[in-house]
Structure 1
Amino acid sequence: MMHDLITFAQRLADAARLETLPRWVNGAAADDKGGGEFDPVTDADREAERVMRGLIETEYPEHGISGEEFPDRPTRGRYSWSLDPVDGTRSFICGLPTWVTLIALLDEGEPVLGIIDAPCLDERYVGFPGGSLFRGRGNEAELRGSGCSSLKQARLSTTDPYLFRGAEADAFERIRERVRTTRYGHDGYGYARLAAGSLDLVIEAGLKPHDYNALIPVVRTAGGAIGDWKGGADFSEGKVIAAATRALYEAALEAMRV
């Protein structure tokens, strides 16, 4: 059963690529969802989610669906899908290549299968029960994190430091001052590169379920740790720390608590 679901999840990613990649190449106009700060959405977001939903409804009509662009469909069983057709829409509309499609399968509400797909880079990162997979540019390999356990040696990423406010910003700054180097602007792709071993630590706030569900299996099956800012696994506040090792996760927590 899980093998079939892994294969199907990759079909979803393939179908989304057919909608997103041509629109990225040709340039896609963005609408503002509103609500204050600029929150862009494009036809690529809408149409990629629409085609993925259509496949799920046809192949697995009993499965639930939760996506960024359309209303949720409740599950009639144990499985549901979490879809973020373009994670990094700001990068997408700026013609930058590191936006990704996030696909997760949840079993009784727990993410068990995750895909981070980077169409522009022809890279796909998959985490599933008992294994992981990197597929890109004709190569396949198991995902494996760097094994870094020291803040002093860590390569840190966050999408935008200005998304942190007040005490959150102070906590992030304490980490930034301790790490080896910091890179910005990668959205879900940062977690993919953590799973592949070229980043060691990603810290973010303000995430929604469709932003983090797919990341959890990918990071964990690559040997990493991912949790909230309190040391647990309650992501409901949208605060996420992903680290190459549990030791690095704990070191980050300690520094942020000071």
Structure 2
Amino acid sequence: MPKTAPLSPDLHDELVGVAHLLADAARPIALQYFRGAGQDIENKLAGDFDPVTVADRLIEQKMRELLAEHRPQDSILGEEFAAYEGSSGLTWVLDPIDGTRGFISGTPTWGVLIAVGPEDGPLIGMIDQPFTSERFVGTPQFAQLQHPSGDRPLEVRKLVDLQDAILFTTFPEIGTKQEQAAFNRVRDRVKLARYGMDCYSYGLLAAGQIDLVVEAQLNAYDIQGPLAVIQAAGGIVTNWQGGPAHNGGQVIAAGDPTLHAAALKLLQSDGAV
């Protein structure tokens, strides 16, 4: 199924419904372990710290069970378990807890990321923050922030100059030394830079609260849910070369295309990307 082919209304509604089903199932599991005992933290990366908790695995396991029941023909790419190859041409991309470091630290910057689409990128995406009960949803038909107090449309902030922009990233020590230097060129030109926000920063960009997110060394499951949300809200997400970002790596997200171009030029200015 090529990305240029629109989803039929029935398929759109079915996929959105299943995505909500996955996010609804993830919430109580995440909240059971957030700021509580029994997180059972493991380190997946020797020589560094890449934590995974029992909540990560239980959430992804539950989402996979629901997909096996409701969309068994679709492929699955998740962070914690092996990929599953389906026959429909659609892939669900799952990050059960994006921002596990924030999760184990008690900060509400983590989220459950869900995306679905063909091989060339997601069509539907969600960023769900169970602790704040916020769900950022992006589809070809709408972009919406859903909350018990009321839903509202998502729309990125436009007409922002670089010197007036708010920039977020997760790690101050972003990527390699070359990637760090490239990021610093952007950081030194914006009004405000903030760190440690994990996937929540992409939701804030889609909501028009901030203007730029620049990151490196991402995986597909880190970016596909946020990518679909930001694009539905009118923003732009690419890699540092200006190409597709759905497979991860170096990512820049912006609300305004002129701002995106200015930041991209700084990232590329020494030819290191």
Query: What TM-score bracket applies, with the shorter chain setting the length?
Result: over 0.9
Instruction: Give the structure 2 partner of residue 15 of structure 1.
Output: 25
How many residue pairs align between the two structures? 258
Q: 1:53-64, aligned counterparts within 5 Å?
A: 53-64=64-75
Give unpaired runs (5+ residues) of structure 1: none
Q: Over aligned residue pairs, what C-alpha RMSD do you find? A: 1.2
Task: Give the 4+ runs in structure 1 shifted more than 4 A.
Answer: 234-237
Q: Percent identity?
A: 40
Task: Give the one of 76, 81, 90 matched to 1:70.
Answer: 81
CA distance in 1, matches of 2:246, 2:72: 28
Task: Report the Cα offset of residue 236 of structure 1.
Answer: 4.2
Identify if the C-alpha distance between structure 1 residues 37 and 134 changes in structure 2 by more than 3 Å, giving closer, same or farther.
Answer: same
Identify if the C-alpha distance between structure 1 residues 51 and 237 changes in structure 2 by more than 3 Å, giving closer, same or farther.
Answer: closer
Task: Give the one of 227, 230, 246 matched to 2:257.
Answer: 246
The question of whether the paired residues in 1 share the 8 Å contact of 2:165 and 2:190 is answered with yes
Identify if the C-alpha distance between structure 1 residues 131 and 148 changes in structure 2 by more than 3 Å, giving closer, same or farther.
Answer: same
Normalised to the residue count of structure 2, the TM-score between the two structures is 0.91
1:36 lines up with 2:50 in the alignment: no
Task: Give the one of 156, 165, 172 matched to 2:176.
Answer: 165
Q: 1:204-219, aligned counterparts within 5 Å?
A: 204-219=215-230
Give unpaired runs (5+ residues) of structure 2: 1-10
The question of whether the paired residues in 2 share the 8 Å contact of 1:114 and 1:127 is answered with yes
The Cα offsets for residues 139-159 of structure 1, whole Å up to 9 and x where unpaired, read as: 101100111431111000000
* 3-state SS in 1 of match to 2:26: helix
Task: Report the Cα offset of residue 235 of structure 1.
Answer: 4.9
Task: Give the one of 235, 260, 272 matched to 1:224.
Answer: 235
The question of whether the paired residues in 1 share the 8 Å contact of 2:245 and 2:251 is answered with no
* 3-state SS in 1 of match to 2:210: coil
Instruction: Give the structure 1 partner of residue 56 of structure 2.
Output: 45
Normalised to the residue count of structure 1, the TM-score between the two structures is 0.97
Instruction: Give the structure 1 partner of residue 104 of structure 2.
Output: 93
The Cα offsets for residues 18-46 of structure 1, whole Å up to 9 and x where unpaired, read as: 21111104231310112331110001000
CA distance in 2, matches of 1:32, 1:60: 32
The question of whether the paired residues in 2 share the 8 Å contact of 1:148 and 1:154 is answered with no
2:18 partner amino acid: F
